[in-house]
Structure 1
Amino acid sequence: MDISPDQPIFVISVAAELADMHPQTLRQYDRLGIVSPSRAPGKSRRYSQRDINMLREVQRLSHEGVSLEGIKRILELENQVAALQRRVSELTEELGRRRDPLDSRIFAAGAAGDVVSLARGQRPRARSQAVVVWRPRALGN
């Protein structure tokens, strides 16, 4: 049987043991929004394997001297990076599905993660913090 790493199956006592932490520490992390497990119908916490791995990472960072606020920010940034990497993969796949991947489309991605298609010669707004993905046409086209 294959269990998804996101399947919420561990009660707090088991999760605490697997992460080598006290259950009260897990409750504190949940209150602070550092590691927030799923909730069972009776409001009890249920942790996934991904949550356990995150708890271990929190513990590692804490042992290295990073504050809880710093740990929370690191985890938020890692989640943002993962989301942006998924979006880049989606856009790359979309470009690969086109018959002519070197067409005239240019995409700009804003700081908020929004993606817009720009016409040839169009530029992102001035003072924008946009990232532009561009592929030049092959010579002779």
Structure 2
Amino acid sequence: MMQQTRGIYLISVVAETLDMHPQTLRKYERAGFVVPLRMGALRTYSDEDVARLRLIKHFVDNMGLNLSGVQLALRMTSELLSLRRETASAGAPVERIDGMLATLGVRVVQREEPQPNEDPAESWFNVNPGEAVEFDSGMGETSSP
């Protein structure tokens, strides 16, 4: 998992921002989905952690996955995004990979680089320069970050 240097958020800020209970965040930590940094007794989350939690929330809320399903979906998404990066850098078409990502309710979109003061709820997974992950609720509507 790539660590970003921007943003350090306390559990209460992340919970409120993502509309999750702090216990839910702790459950995801115990499951190994995120590994927040510890500053004494405090958990601190990076922008990358917040983006990953947004993806987990998508899998739970929009796809109806349980913890085992989330674990598998995270692994599949990571592998597909890695494969997409390699394929795109080789100049090959990525449509089939994009189709596989769509089955997970995920798509890659063009996006400008994040601004330094961007709200943590706006954290995205960056795929390639200028590309990021967007979630689809499964109803044909894209959820706005």
Number of aligned residue pairs: give it.
Answer: 89
Change (3 A) 1:25 1:89: same
TM-score, structure 2 as length reference:
0.50
Conserved? CA contact 1:62–1:71, under 8 Å: yes
- Larger C-alpha radius of gyration, 1 or 2? 1
Structure 1 residues 27-86: Cα deviation after superposition (integer angstroms, max 9, x where no partner): 11011012333x145363221233223323322322342111101110111111122222
**One-letter amino acid of the counterpart of residue 45, structure 1:** R
**Higher relative contact order, chain-length normalized (CA < 8 Å, sep 6+):** 2
Identity of counterpart residues, as a percentage? Answer: 36
Is the Cα contact below 8 Å between 2:38 and 2:44 reproduced in 1? Answer: yes
Distance 1:8 1:45, change over 3 A: farther
TM-score of the two chains, using structure 1 as the length reference: 0.51
Structure 2 CA distance for aligned equivalents of residues 8 and 40 of structure 1: 14
The 2-side partners of 1:19 and 1:6 are apart by 20
Q: Which consecutive unaligned segments of at least 5 residues does structure 1 have? A: 93-141
Equivalence for 2:72: 73
Q: Which runs of 4+ in 1 moved over 6 A?
A: none
From the two aligned structures, give the one with the greater strand fraction: 2
Q: Name the stretch that deviates more: 23-32 or 4-13.
A: 4-13
CA RMSD, aligned part only? 2.8
What residue in structure 2 maps to residue 14 of structure 1? 13
Equivalent position of 1:49 in the other structure: 47
Unaligned runs of 5+ in 2: 92-145
1:56 and 1:41 map into 2 onto residues whose CA distance is 23
